[in-house]
Chains A and B, each alone.
Chain A
Amino acid sequence: MKEFFLSLKVVWRKLKRDRSAMVGLCVAIGLVCTALISVYVAPFDRVIQQDLPKALQPPSAEHWFGTDYLGRDVFLRILYGSRISLVVGIVVVGIGMSIGLLLGTSAGYFGGWWDAVVMRLTDIMLAFPFLLLAIALTAVLGKPSLTNTILALGVASFPSYTRLVRGNVLSLREESYVDAARVCGASHNRIMWRHLMPNLMGTLIVYGTLRISTAILAEAGLSYLGLGAQLPTPTWGNMLSDGRDFIIFFEWLPLFPGLAILLTVAGFNLLGDGLRDALDPKTRR
C-alpha cells in the first residue's frame, strides 16, 4: 500500500506539469463544487416552480440563462442537473468497476472454467453496443427512472472493466512478489486483495476517469430519449427534449444544457488523458 501512495505522489507531480490535465481537473472540481452549491441554491421545489407569465424569457440579470416554456429558471435547472450528472458519473463507474474488479480479478487469478465462463459472458455483453445494452436493461428494470438508469449503465459497463482487470491480473499473477506471498502462506483472498489490487488501481483510476464522461453522456442520451430520470426532475439530457416544440425557436433553451454536457465531458476526457500519460511508465520521468 505504501508503494501505491508513493506512486500517487509521482503521478501528481507529473500531472501538475500537464496543463490540459489541470484544466480537466479544474472542470471536475468545478462540477463537484457546483453540485454542492446546488443543494442550497437550487432545491428541488425551486427548480420545478412554474412561473408562466415569465415563460421563455431570454438570458437577463434576473435569469442568467433565461427561462423555459413553463417559466422555470434554466440556470437553476442546470445547477440541479450537475448534481445528477455527478452522481451518475461516480455511481455508474463505481458499479461497473466493482463488478469488473470482482469478476476480472477472480477470473484472471483462478483461470480454468471460471475464467472461461466470465470471459464468455463478457464477450456476449460486449457484442452489444453500450447504449443499446443500457436501453435494453432499462426496459428490464421497469419504469424509466434515475435509479434504473444508473443501474442499467453500471451493469452495461462492467464487461469492459472485467476484460481490462483480467488482462492485467494475468500478467501480475506471474510476478515474483505474488510467488513470494504464496510461499509465505498467504491465502488466495489475501493475494488478490492485498497484493494484486493495489497494482491494478493505477489502470483502473485512468479508465474510470475516462468512463465518467461516457456515463454522463450516456445518461444524458437516455434522458433525452425519455428513458432516464423522469420529468419534472431536471437533467441536462431531458432539458434538451422537454418542451421540444419551443427548443428550436428559443436558442438559449438548448444552448446552456448542451454546453454544460460538453464542458463536463471534455474536462473528464482531459483529466483521463493526463492521468494516462502520468501513469504510463514510458512517459514517467
Chain B
Amino acid sequence: MWLTILKRLVQAVPTIIGVTILVFLLMSKTGDPVKNLLGPEASPEEIQQLRRELKLDRPLYERYLGWVSGAVRFDFGKSYSDPKQDVGPLIPPKVLATLELATVTMFVATVVALFVGVFSAAKPGGLFDGLSRTMIFVFLAMPSFWLGIELIILFSRKVPLFPPAGKSDLPFFTLEGLKSHFSHLALPVMTLGIGTGAALCRVLRASMLEVLHADFVRTAKAKGLSGRTVLIKHAFRNALIPFVTLSALTFAGLLEGSIIVETVFAWPGMGRQMVEAIKGRDAPIAMAGVLLAAMLYVTINLIVDVLYVVIDPRVRLDGGAAK
C-alpha cells in the first residue's frame, strides 16, 4: 500500500512543475504591465527603469525560476496596480475567507445529501424519491449567479433575514460575532451548497441503489435483519465509499464555484480577488491565486487517490504492493 501511495506522490511532481510553468507562461502573456502603470505619456527612460525594477528585462526562464523560488517562500513579488504592495501578505486572509465559505458549504451540503440520498434510495419511485430527483435535476442546471440574485431578492429584500453581501468583521468567538458570521454566510452557502448538495445526493442515491441490489444485502435480508439495519448498517456504509471520494473532489470543485459566488455576494475571498486581478491585469496577484487554486486542486486529487488506495483493496492490488 505504501509503495502505491509513494508512486502516486512521485507521479504528482511533474504535474505540479507543469502547473507552475503553465501559470507563469499564461500570466506573463497578459499584457505589458509597464505601459498600464505608466500610461501612454511615459518616456522610454521611465519605461526602461520600471522594467528593470519589475525584473521584466530578464530572460523568461530566469523570471520563471525567480518566481518559483519566491513562490516557495510565499513571496509573490509586488502588485502591479500598487507597486508598493507585497502580494504575499494579501493572500492568507483571502484564502481563509474562501476556505471558510467552502468548508461551511461542504458541511451543509454533505448533511443534506446524506439525509436526502439515503431516504430517496430507501423507497425508489416513491413520492419523496420523485420529488428529490426533480429537485436535484433542477438544481444541477441552475446557474449559481442567478440563484444568488434570486436568494438576495427573497431573503434580503422581500423577507429581510440575511445581509445581501459582505463578510462579518466581528470577532468569531462572541455570541454577537457568531450570529453575524452565520447570517453573512447564509446566502452564499445556500447558493454554493444547493448545486453541490444536489450533485452529492445524486451520487449517494445511485450508489445506495447499486448496493441495495448486491448479494450481501440480500443475505442480510435473508438472515432476517430489519429493513432499517440493512439500510443503515449494510447498504449505507458500503455506499459511502464513492461518496467520500466524490466529496473530496467536490470540495475542490467548490473553489471554482466560489469564483462566481464571491463576486455575487462581494465575499472578500480568493475567487473574487483573482477576477479583480485578471480584470486589472495585475499578473502577480492573478498568478498567486491561480497557482494556489491549482495546487489545492492537485493536492485534493492526490488525497482522493490515496484515499482510494486505503479504502479500496482492488486499487492496492493493482498497484502491486499487495502481491
Partners in one complex: yes
- Report yes or no: B141 in contact with A254, Cβ–Cβ below 8 A: no
A46 to chain B, nearest CB (A): 25
Partner of A269, one of B140, B147, B164: B140
Q: Across the interface, which residues of A come within 8 angstroms of B281, CB to CB? A: 139
Per-position contact with B for A229-241: 1 when CB-CB < 8 Å, else 0? 0000000010011
Interface segment, one of A127-135, A174-182, A196-204? A127-135
A269 to chain B, nearest CB (A): 6
Once bound together, how far apart are the Cα atoms of A226 and B294, in whole Å? 22
Partner of A254, one of B15, B150, B279: B150
B14 close to chain A: CB less than 8 A:
yes
Per-position contact with B for A199-221: 1 when CB-CB < 8 Å, else 0? 00000000000000100010011
- Report yes or no: A139 in contact with B260, Cβ–Cβ below 8 A: no
Interface segment, one of B27-35, B98-106, B168-176, B313-321? B27-35
Per-position contact with B for A143-180: 1 when CB-CB < 8 Å, else 0? 00000000000000000000000000000000000000
- Report yes or no: B145 in contact with A123, Cβ–Cβ below 8 A: no
Once bound together, how far apart are the Cα atoms of A125 and B281, in whole Å? 22
- Report yes or no: A247 in contact with B149, Cβ–Cβ below 8 A: yes
Once bound together, how far apart are the Cα atoms of A69 and B195, in whole Å? 30
Once bound together, how far apart are the Cα atoms of A135 and B277, in whole Å? 11
Once bound together, how far apart are the Cα atoms of A260 and B255, in whole Å? 26
B146 close to chain A: CB less than 8 A:
yes
Interface segment, one of B54-62, B151-159, B225-233? B151-159
Once bound together, how far apart are the Cα atoms of A266 and B30, in whole Å? 35
Once bound together, how far apart are the Cα atoms of A204 and B157, in whole Å? 45
Interface segment, one of B18-26, B63-71, B124-132? B18-26
- Report yes or no: A127 in contact with B301, Cβ–Cβ below 8 A: yes
- Report yes or no: B138 in contact with A262, Cβ–Cβ below 8 A: yes
Once bound together, how far apart are the Cα atoms of A282 and B134, in whole Å? 25
Per-position contact with B for A242-284: 1 when CB-CB < 8 Å, else 0? 0000011101001101100110011001000000000000000
Q: Across the interface, which residues of B come within 8 angstroms of A257, CB to CB? A: 146
Partner of B256, one of A123, A132, A142, A241: A132
- Report yes or no: B138 in contact with A248, Cβ–Cβ below 8 A: no
B60 to chain A, nearest CB (A): 15
B263 close to chain A: CB less than 8 A:
yes
B297 close to chain A: CB less than 8 A:
yes
**Chain B binding surface, main DSSP class:** helix
B107 close to chain A: CB less than 8 A:
no
B265 to chain A, nearest CB (A): 12
Question: With A136-B27, A139-B26, A220-B143 known to touch, is A127 a contact of B298 (CB < 8 Å)?
Answer: yes
Partner of B293, one of A132, A142, A248: A132
B142 close to chain A: CB less than 8 A:
yes
- Report yes or no: B27 in contact with A265, Cβ–Cβ below 8 A: no
Partner of B143, one of A137, A265, A269: A265
B137 close to chain A: CB less than 8 A:
yes
A67 close to chain B: CB less than 8 A:
no
B252 close to chain A: CB less than 8 A:
yes
Partner of A258, one of B19, B150, B290: B150
Once bound together, how far apart are the Cα atoms of A249 and B15, in whole Å? 47
A41 close to chain B: CB less than 8 A:
no
- Report yes or no: A127 in contact with B19, Cβ–Cβ below 8 A: yes
Per-position contact with B for A6-40: 1 when CB-CB < 8 Å, else 0? 00000000000000000000000000000000000
B303 close to chain A: CB less than 8 A:
no
Q: Across the interface, which residues of B come within 8 angstroms of A220, CB to CB? A: 143, 145
- Report yes or no: B146 in contact with A213, Cβ–Cβ below 8 A: no
Question: With A129-B253, A248-B152 known to touch, is A240 a contact of B141 (CB < 8 Å)?
Answer: no
The 9 A-B pairs with the shortest beta carbon distances in the complex, nearest first, are A258-B146, A124-B18, A129-B256, A266-B141, A265-B141, A139-B278, A139-B30, A254-B149, A224-B145
Residues on A lying within 8 angstroms of B by beta carbon are 120-121, 123-125, 127-132, 135-140, 142, 213, 217, 220-221, 224-227, 237, 240-241, 247-249, 251, 254-255, 257-258, 261-262, 265-266, 269
Please, could you name 8 A-B residue pairs with CB atoms under 8 Å apart, sorted by A? A129-B252, A135-B274, A136-B290, A248-B149, A255-B150, A258-B146, A261-B146, A265-B143
17 further A-B contacts with Cβ under 8 Å, apart from A135-B275, A220-B145, are A120-B15, A121-B18, A124-B15, A124-B19, A129-B252, A132-B293, A136-B278, A224-B263, A237-B143, A248-B156, A249-B157, A251-B153, A254-B146, A254-B150, A258-B146, A262-B143, A266-B137
